[in-house]
Chains A and B, each alone.
Chain A
């Protein structure tokens, strides 16, 4: 009777052991991985290898130059060799991780008949009007005309001329090495009109190590999709001055053409306002020598902040805001001049602050006070004001004076206030800056994800990252083939996508839980389940070891 009972309990014990092992197997094989998978942060796959590849991207900036030779500019046997193409490439030495190479592709050709005619006229201005836009040249490209050595188109001592519309003129030479010499002159002129080291250094100023803080490099605005320009008239003393300004007409006549020329750079919106009883935060000092009031140069940095809160720039759009203030000083402080650091009054009576805007002080003509009772009607001379504001706008955008080659005749900007190749320089600088920013953003995102483990990456963020990487590569390709306009658009798209991915609200890192809090949460859940399983496994293990040892004892 004992044997079947013993066999039954044996069977029961074996079945029990198997059940315990099965439970343990389910927990370890299914439960642990399931728990691990469900508690890890979701990360959609990102192209990490491509992002790290962006760091070693080589940027090749190509400038297509068309060099047109007139009949007497070079010796005859050289003229037979036309047309052909010469490429001049050099690396820009900047201490930056992206290597930048600048490539001038010069296509030499002979002049057409109408071009010969235009270039044989008396003065360069007439020649330019003959060339008036049959076809608008593409952004980034240049045309250089080579005239004969003794031509009277340019004044005798001038070797070259740079015009406002992507056109330049260079003197030829009758010499064996004509093409080499002229090639060098063309390169000099082309560099002045497109890319030099300082243009790229200014674009990359935020990314280069700070060895010297020259004011040119710190000034330009950061690249953005659009800008908001606000013109404000500050009248602190309405009882004495009744100020009128035709701002709408001035904007329409002077500012709008300038902004239209800059249309490729971004969306601009312009607004204006008049503020009454708004004072500058600094008290002007009286100068008995000229019986006028002055603001010293060292007190100018403190002027802006007290006034800024009244300007209402927080109600404006999300684009960066540029403020231009016109201040009409009070009767008690008239006339008011701004002094530079040497104590001399500034001719424009204006100053600007990088990335913020500019302020101009407009003094009322003292003749207006004669005999009239207060308030005196003041009509602002908008031409004078707009000349200063547009100059400040140019400086704030980073359109600086180019480095001209020696003996070069330079015509100033036309009525819009900006020359076409200045726009090109801005587009080159902005494209490079956008690519640098997008690359840095993507690399920072990848680094952050490595460092902070509890950030979630959703699928739409991942798709923005992919788009940004593709846009960077496309922009680099377009720059290498010389299409500046499409390269700029691609670089803007790269920046927008990368910023959108980096600043997506879902990327806020999840709250951090210290380790002891994590234990406190998991132990009440897992310990009651784990203790029976572990104990039963331990029991099985001991019994198995005993049954192994038993045969040895018998033997």
Chain B
């Protein structure tokens, strides 16, 4: 499930639950790597990245980060080939704080030994929730009888059930979220960390993070403009004339496929031999000298 950690939807065995819609960064599976994740958080992306793949937050944004998948003591698995450690995550949050890329941050993690992931945070205004303590495993919810695999984890299931009852005007606070999924239901002990957060959790509304509520003001003043009626007629006529005089469209050169197919392979740059080759040759030379004897080498070997 780590590969879909950017999208905002979850599935369960019941008919699909609807989450409150919040802005999402769309990312396809090949792009979900540790490096890309850290780049999105810290903002260190190449300038060619489009707006939809950037985290355009400023010092007044509240950010929600939800991670789930397989994990262990101090790490989380990404796409079965990489890991992200708790220290890297803590450093990424510190860099976000230094550049004021968040106002408040809520971090929810649902993996085995999830509490180890938030132990190393040291930046202010972070609240963290985890599904299990260090040494415990997070378990999954019941399997889907049609497919035969487990589709959801227990902690996530109960959190989603809790969030279903929240509407944009709700006054539920974070203390209620901490009570979700006690040990009797979840088998593991959920944990939370609020010492870095400046506000008291009971004053923090769920909708601060889940609701996308914006600050608005009523506009009470206007400026006075003088209507200019003379120019209007001429501009209308000009638009009509523009439409008639449009030239036939020209199309750009299509891809020169013939040239590409017959391309010669590029000469690769020469690199000096790597460590393995050097070590192998060093071994061979040592054996050679040992056999044919340089006598004072005997003292060493």
Contact = CB atoms under 8 A, between A and B. Distances in A.
Given A314-B50, A503-B44, A353 B216 contact: yes
A340 B218 CA distance: 7
A417 B225 contact: yes
B210 to A, nearest CB: 12
Contacts of B45: 503, 505
Interface in B43-84: 43-47, 50-52, 58-60, 74
A356 B214 contact: yes
A236 interface: no
Nearest to B34: A511
Interface in A450-502: 451-452, 502
Interface string B11-49: 000000000011100000000001100110011111100
B44 A392 contact: no
Contacts of B50: 314
Contacts of B34: 511
A17 B299 CA distance: 8
A534 to B, nearest CB: 11
A19 B231 contact: no
A301 B300 contact: no
Contacts of A502: 99
Contact of B223 (A13, A308, A390, A504): A390
Interface string B79-114: 000000101100110110011100000000000000
B223 A306 contact: no
Contact of A536 (B51, B212, B213, B300): B300
B202 interface: no
A415 B226 contact: yes
B51 A395 contact: no
A130 interface: no
Interface residues of A, number: 83
B121 to A, nearest CB: 14
A383 B227 contact: yes
B250 interface: no
Interface of A is mostly: helix
A97 to B, nearest CB: 15
A13 B227 CA distance: 107
Contacts of B218: 297, 300, 338, 340, 346, 350-351
Interface residues of B, number: 61
Nearest to B300: A532
A394 interface: yes
B251 interface: no
A242 interface: no
Interface string A1-27: 000000000001101110110010000
Contacts of B235: 246, 248-249, 252
Contacts of A12: 295-296
Interface stretch (A74-82, A139-147, A441-449, A547-555): A441-449
A7 to B, nearest CB: 16
A215 interface: yes
B38 A387 contact: no
A354 interface: yes
B217 interface: yes
B139 to A, nearest CB: 27
B268 interface: no
Contact of A391 (B44, B216, B223, B299): B223
A15 B58 CA distance: 70
Contacts of A388: 219, 222
Given A387-B222, A447-B98, A512 B87 contact: yes
Contacts of A318: 47, 51
A417 B98 contact: no
A351 B88 contact: no
Interface string A328-356: 00000000001010000011101111111
Interface string B161-185: 0000000110000000000000000
A220 interface: no
A386 B94 contact: no
Nearest to B45: A505
Given A246-B232, A512-B91, A441 B99 contact: yes
B154 to A, nearest CB: 30
A117 interface: no
Given A316-B51, A448-B94, A249 B231 contact: yes
Contacts of A15: 296
B44 A505 contact: yes
Contact of A16 (B219, B221, B226, B296): B296
A353 B223 contact: no
A297 B43 CA distance: 35
A19 B300 contact: yes
A19 B301 CA distance: 12
Contact of A300 (B23, B212, B216): B216
Contacts of A441: 99
Contacts of B38: 508-509
B263 interface: no
A253 interface: yes
Given A249-B231, A448-B98, A352 B296 contact: no
Contact of A503 (B43, B169, B225): B43
A313 B298 CA distance: 76
Given A20-B300, A206-B100, A354 B215 contact: yes
Contacts of A532: 300-301
Interface in A185-213: 206
A318 B221 CA distance: 30
Interface string B195-230: 000000000000000001111111111111111100
19 contacts: A19-B300, A215-B217, A301-B213, A301-B215, A353-B215, A353-B216, A354-B217, A355-B60, A387-B224, A394-B223, A413-B223, A415-B226, A447-B98, A452-B95, A502-B99, A509-B91, A512-B87, A532-B301, A536-B299
Given A16-B299, A415-B225, A417-B225, 9 more contacts: A215-B217, A249-B235, A348-B220, A351-B219, A391-B221, A448-B94, A503-B42, A505-B45, A508-B44
